[in-house]
Amino acid sequence: MTSTELLYSDPLAAATAAAAEIAQRTGVASHDVALVMGSGWVTAADALGAPAYECDAHELTGFFAPAVEGHSGKVRSYEITEGGKTLRALVFLGRTHLYEGKGMEPVVHGVRTAVKAGCKVIILTNACGGINTSFKVGQPVLIRDHISLTAASPLSGATFVDLTDLYSKRIRTIVKSEDSSLAEGVYVHWRGPTYETPAEIAMMRTMGADLVGMSTVPEAIAAHALGAEVLGISLVTNAAAGITGEKLNHEEVIAAGKAAADRMGALLKSTIPKLI
Ligand code: 8IG
């Protein structure tokens, strides 16, 4: 069986295999925390220092090569020492999205691998559109809850998983104690690859949404279902459709992400040791 066949036929076995490869390659039996760095967040990872290990994700069982510019498809292992504590962080630079059309398994393979590699906390970052007009471009927002407009779940079968504390209140409290200026919001998952119409954004606002993007939700559910705690951070990189009257473009997203990367990298570095 190829690595891709294993991913689709037995995704947890593929994640377990990838986790064993990470342990073997890094020489670290167990990692503590994982970060998935979305569009524009890749440079924030550099604030964590020099990685102890790095490889192309697709060298590991079940990972595909990346499809989108700004998503480099690397896996890194970092040793983070702060305040007398040392821990190991697994960082995924880039992710697979539902809009790529490969199905759900590749979308959640990274977080499943991270949990199988020992990670108890999964930090999911993304770039998103701002629906709440009090959010400015370049502003990071903690995800408090989500609305799934794809209705696509990484789970099948009679597993009725509670999602009332999906985006861990414990972790959000710690992060806000590091940076009290951080806002929170409700993230809507939109399949894409089209952005929304102005009418769809009006609908989302009426539903109680603050942020809209094409990732994070399946990964949060998959990580939570395996027992990990989840932190979601969205970087608002454009006003959602119909808010400013401007059209949306991917270059705007990349530029806003780079500008906020230093601040976010420093926040992650100081916060991570306090989460474990
Ligand atoms: I960056 O406005 C980014 N990702 N669905 N809508 C959706 N995804 C996004 C947007 C946006 N901006």
pLDDT of residue 249: 72
pLDDT of residue 140: 92
Per-run averaged pLDDT (10 residues), the chain, 276 residues: 94 98 97 92 87 95 73 86 89 94 97 98 96 92 98 92 97 95 97 96 98 98 98 93 79 73 86 91
Predicted structure pTM score = 0.95
- 45-68 exposure pattern, b = at least 16 Cβ within 10 A, e = fewer: bebbeebebebebeebbbbbebeb
Do β-strands 85-93 and 140-148 pair in parallel, antiparallel, or remain unpaired?
A: unpaired
Tokens of 132: 């709440």
Query: Is the Cβ atom of 196 under 6 angstroms away from ligand 1?
Result: yes
Q: Name the nearest CA neighbour of 107 among 117, 115, 122, 97.
A: 97
Alpha carbon of 199 to ligand 1 centroid (Å): 15
> What is the C-alpha radius of gyration for the chain, rounded to an integer number of angstroms?
17
CATH number where 162 lies: 3.40.50.1580
Query: Is the Cβ atom of 238 under 6 angstroms away from ligand 1?
Result: yes
Cα(111)–Cα(96) distance, integer angstroms = 11
Tokens of 58: 């697709």
Domains identified in the chain, total number: 1
The parent domain of residue 244 ranges over 3-275
Quick check: 112 and 194 in contact, CB under 8 A? no
Quick check: 88 and 114 in contact, CB under 8 A? no
pLDDT of residue 27: 97
